[in-house]
Structure 1
C-alpha cells in the first residue's frame, strides 16, 4: 500500500471534514441536531452521487472558483454572528427585531415549523457540507487518478471520516453542555477564519505558514473579537458616569 497517498488523502480530507463538523456542532446546538445532521448528510450524499456519476470529470471543476464561493458564503454567515457576539460581550443592548444583528441566530433558534424542522438550519449545513465535501472528493479523485492508487486515496478519506465521527460521538455530551454564547463566539471565529482562508486561497493569496493559516486565522479572528469587545465595553463604561453627571 502506498502510504504517501493515504496520508495525503487523510490530511486533505480531515481539514475539510473538520470544517463540516464545526458548522454541524454550532447549528445543531442552536437549532437541533436533526436539522444539522439532515442538512450536512444531504450535502455529503449529493457529493458522493456526483462523484460516482462524474468520476474523473469532477477534477474539471475549477477549484479556485469553488474556494471563492465557499469563502464568500462563510463570510456572509460569519459577519452577522461576529457583530452580534461582539455587542453581547461589550455589554451593549440588542437591537430591535428586524435590525439584523441577531437575525441569523433567531432564524437558527426559532425558525421552526410544527414538525420541528428548521429549514434555514438545514440549508445552512447543506451548503457548508456540500462545498467542503466536494473539495474532499476532488482531492481523492485527483490523488487516485494521478497515481493510479484509488484504494489508498479512498482509504485516507475514509480513515479521516471514521476518526472524526468517533471523536464527535465521544465528546457529544460535553458539547451539549457548552453555553450558547461561547458556542456562538466560536462559530463566528471559525466561520470568519475559514472564510478568509478559502477566499484568499481562491484568489491565490500566500498566507504566512501555508496551510497552517487555516488554524491561526480563526484564532486571530477570535482574539480580534475579544479585543473589540473589551474596547467597546471600556468606552461604554466611560460614557455611563458622564450620563449620570448630566
Structure 2
C-alpha cells in the first residue's frame, strides 16, 4: 500500500468533511433549524454514496488524467461563477452581481476554460523549449 498517497487522500477527504460540517452548521444556524440542515446533509451523504456505488464501474473506464481534466474544468467554471457572483464590490449597493444568462453562464464558462486550457496546453511546451534569455545574476559563478 502506498502510505503517502493514502495519507494525502485521507487528509483531503477529512478536510472536505470538515468543510461540509461548517457549511451545514452555517446554513442551519442562519435558518434557525440545525436539525433539518443536519438531516438534509445526512440524506445528501446517502445520495452521494448510492450515486458513487452505481457510477464507480463506468467511471473506472475513463482514463484518470481525462477525469481529472474534466473535474478541473468544472471546478474552475463553478469557482469563477460563484466568485464573481459573490463579489458585490462592483455594484453601488454592494449587491451580488448577476451573470448574463444566469445559470446558463456556467456552460459558457466551462467552454471558455476548456478553450484557455487547450491553448495553454499547446503553447506551454513551446515556451518551455525556448532557451533561457535572462542575464546571469551576480551570484552565478561565485565560488
TM range (shorter): 0.5 to 0.7
Structure 2 residue aligned with 1:191, among 61, 75, 80?
75
What is the rounded CA distance, in whole Å, between the counterparts of 1:198 and 1:192 in structure 2?
10
Q: Which segments of 5 or more consecutive residues in structure 1 lack a partner in the other structure?
A: 1-113, 237-246
* Deviation of 1:189 (Å): 0.7
Kindly indicate whether residue 51 of structure 2 is the aligned counterpart of residue 163 of structure 1.
Answer: no
TM superposition score normalised by structure 1 = 0.37
2:91 is matched with which residue? none
Between the aligned partners of 2:120 and 2:46, the Cα distance in structure 1 is: 38
Structure 2 stretches lacking a partner, 5+ long: 89-95, 127-143
Give 1:188 shift. 1.7
1:138 and 2:26 correspond: yes
Q: Which residue of 2 aligns with 1:34?
A: none
Aligned-pair RMSD on alpha carbons? 3.5
Q: 2: CA distance between counterparts of 1:133 and 1:218? A: 29
Q: Describe the shift of the 1:123–1:156 C-alpha distance in structure 2 as closer, same or farther (beyond 3 A).
A: closer
Match of 1:173 in 2: 57
Q: What do residues 202-243 of structure 1 show as CA deviations (whole Å, max 9, x unaligned)?
A: 533514155x3794366234432465268x38xx7xxxxxxx
Q: For the structure 1 residues 152 and 121, does the alpha-carbon distance in structure 2 shift closer, same or farther, using more than 3 Å as the test?
A: closer
How high is the TM-score relative to the length of structure 2?
Answer: 0.56
The structure whose RCO (Cα within 8 Å, separation 6+) is larger is 1
Query: Aligned-pair distance for 1:115?
Result: 5.2
- Comparing both structures, which one devotes a greater share of its residues to helix? 1
Q: What whole-Å deviation, never above 9, does each CA across 1:66-93 have from its counterpart, x for those lacking one? A: xxxxxxxxxxxxxxxxxxxxxxxxxxxx
In 1: Cα distance, 2:24 partner to 2:81 partner:
16
4+ runs of 1 displaced by more than 4 Å?
none
Judged with a 3 Å threshold, the aligned counterparts in structure 2 of structure 1 residues 213 and 134 are, in CA distance, closer, same or farther, namely farther
Shift in Å, 1:172: 1.0
**Cα distance in 2, alignment partners of residues 217 and 128 from structure 1:** 27
Aligned residues between the structures? 115
Aligned position for 1:116 = 3
Offset of 1:171 from its aligned partner?
A: 1.0
